[in-house]
């Protein structure tokens, strides 16, 4: 298939659903099959196209923590606000981080109060602002999984080559593999397989996921983001489970090479090193799950150039982002979903981010809320 409409073909979707139904009928289980889509992009596609509603009732999708904005703890948001409020700083960030609530305010609120906060589309945009404003300190809010690490790394390398001294990075890049391991080690989550993240895998390849099959005996299928991609990946997972296999399969071969992107990985390795631990919203501290700039690039590290609060701050008690991120509950099971917490008045990051499960459910799934609750009661 070459064109986007081919990946949304209703006839092909019906054929895949029939095949999924045939495999699901072979499952002899006391509880539904729990399949986690790790990436927030998959979550939005699942809600947008109503995929969860057309799957057999003994298959349940679990929404994982693959949204880097969503897993950022509140204390790190407060650090961003502190940087933005520094009198000589231009703080640059991707748009979906602007409205994430801190303990006092969001970056958007700080901007409304006079802070120089600017939305950019890439770290290179932030570097250009630094070139154009030599008398100001320009900080780039670097966040994301391995997908967005290479652009940050290449921008730091370019800043070093050009001798740009007024540019720095507030590094919040995180890694996917320790995250999946932390989920698998969690005692309150039961999973039977994974839809692997497509964009992260484009960088790291398929080999890093092998431990999931070897040590945890869970199958994983790297999936694309279109409706037929997701349905095909669910079919491949069910086929493995019904045949008693446990492998890493690459459904997204048109984008993901098995070996990953060598040039991108080399840039990341040159600029970044693993942190001993990193704090995640809902998951706590996870060893080696974040990166920081290596010593050779310390002059571009905003955490070394500026004094930051660096405090651990708990989410509001009414907000259940942590449970949603771990897959322990569905977005609509949060007691403030759609009432106190909406896209206009978010209490948690999952209602803000373009990849957040709560935002996806609110935007695409509210008409199915009653039916979802009925299904939950039937399954219980």
Does an H or E element contain 91, and which?
A: strand 89-93
b/e per residue 315-351 (b: at least 16 CB within 10 A): beeebbbbbbbbbebbbbebebbbeebeeeebbbbbb
Beta-bridge mates of residue 344: none
The Cα–Cα gap between 98 and 70 comes to 12
Domains of the chain: 74-176+260-304 (3.40.50.11740)
Q: CB of 149 within 8 A of CB of 272?
A: yes
Beta bridge partners of 41: none
Question: What's the length of the chain?
Answer: 380
Q: What is the reported pTM? A: 0.87
How far CA 367 is from CA of 48, 276, 291, 324, 372, in Å, comes to: 12, 44, 40, 20, 9
Which pLDDT score is estimated for 367? 45
**pLDDT averaged per 10 residues, the chain (length 380):** 84 96 89 92 91 92 83 90 96 92 92 97 98 98 96 98 97 93 85 95 97 96 96 98 96 95 97 93 85 97 91 74 78 83 80 78 63 55
pLDDT at residue 153, as a whole number: 98
SS3 36: strand
Instruction: Say whether 262 sits in a helix, a strand or coil.
Output: helix
Dist. CA 310–CA 167, nearest whole Å: 21
C-alpha–C-alpha distance, residues 88 and 79, integer Å: 16
């Amino acid at each position: 298939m070459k064109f986007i409409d081919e990946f949304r073909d209703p006839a092909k979707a019906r054929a895949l659903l029939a095949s999924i139904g045939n495999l699901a009928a072979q499952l002899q289980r006391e509880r539904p099959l729990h399949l986690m889509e790790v990436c927030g992009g998959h979550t939005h596609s699942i809600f947008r196209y109503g995929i969860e509603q057309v799957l057999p009732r003994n298959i349940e999708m679990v929404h994982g923590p693959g949204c880097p904005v969503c897993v950022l703890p509140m204390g790190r948001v407060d650090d961003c606000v502190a940087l933005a409020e520094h009198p000589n700083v231009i703080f640059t960030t991707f748009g979906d981080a602007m409205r994430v609530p801190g303990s006092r305010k969001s970056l958007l609120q700080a901007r409304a109060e006079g802070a120089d906060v600017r939305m950019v589309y890439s770290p290179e945009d932030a570097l250009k602002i630094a070139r154009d404003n030599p008398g100001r300190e320009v900080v780039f809010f670097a966040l994301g999984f391995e997908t967005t690490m290479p652009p940050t790394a290449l921008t730091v390398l370019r800043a070093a080559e050009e001798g740009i001294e007024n540019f720095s990075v507030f590094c919040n890049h995180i890694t996917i593999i320790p995250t999946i391991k932390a989920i698998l080690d969690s005692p309150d989550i039961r999973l039977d397989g994974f839809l692997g993240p497509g964009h992260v895998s484009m960088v790291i390849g398929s080999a890093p996921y092998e431990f999931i099959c070897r040590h945890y005996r869970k199958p994983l299928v790297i999936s694309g983001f279109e409706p037929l991609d997701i349905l095909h990946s669910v079919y491949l997972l069910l086929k493995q489970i019904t045949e008693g296999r446990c492998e890493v399969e690459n459904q997204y071969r048109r984008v993901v090479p098995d070996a990953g992107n060598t040039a991108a990985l080399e840039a990341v390795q040159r600029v970044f090193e693993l942190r001993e631990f990193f704090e995640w919203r809902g998951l706590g501290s996870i060893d080696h799950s974040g990166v920081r700039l290596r010593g050779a690039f310390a002059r571009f590290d905003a955490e070394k150039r500026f004094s930051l609060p660096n405090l651990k701050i708990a989410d509001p008690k009414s907000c259940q982002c942590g449970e949603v991120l771990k897959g322990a509950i569905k977005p609509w099971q949060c007691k403030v979903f759609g009432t106190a917490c909406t896209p206009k008045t978010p209490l948690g990051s999952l209602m803000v981010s373009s990849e957040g499960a709560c935002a996806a459910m609110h935007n695409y799934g509210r008409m199915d809320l009653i039916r979802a609750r009925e299904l939950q009661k039937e399954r219980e």
